[in-house]
Amino acid sequence: MVKKNQKRTPASLQPWIDARRRFHLSHEHVQMARELGMNPKKLGKLDNHHQELWKLPLPQFIRKLYSKRFGKERPNAVRTIQEMVVAKQAKKQSKKAAHDGARSMVDQRDDPTQ
């Protein structure tokens, strides 16, 4: 249920929220998996370490792939999905305000009544 002043989560990010809850991942692991380009719907087959003991648990597997690809243990700044949604909407609002401001300046300049 979405609270009155809370922003709606886009449908493209909802599978990541579900995967985080289902596989007991931290926000850091979700961000690393997203940066690696993983599919949240296919994390289940990577997390089968109880029957197949040779597989790493999913959080350790994500961390290993991340350090192998990016050469560091963790992202510089860890942000939750909700923080990313809020930041994206704030950026969109500022772009819209700048665009509207530029448009109003053009309208004033082109106004023949002045």
Query: What pLDDT is attached to residue 35?
Result: 95
pLDDT recorded at residue 16:
95
What is the chain's pLDDT, residue by residue, as a tens digit (114 residues)?
A: 555 655 677 888 999 999 999 999 999 999 999 999 999 999 999 998 788 888 999 999 999 999 999 999 999 999 999 998 999 899 999 998 888 877 776 666 665 565
Mapping DSSP onto H, E and C, the string for 2-43 reads CCCCCCCCCCCCHHHHHHHHHHCCCHHHHHHHHHHCCCHHHC
Can you give the pLDDT at residue 109? 63
Instruction: Find the distance separating the first CA and the last CA of the chain, reported in whole Å.
Output: 52
**Tokens standing for residue 82:** 């909700």
The pLDDT value recorded for residue 104 is 73
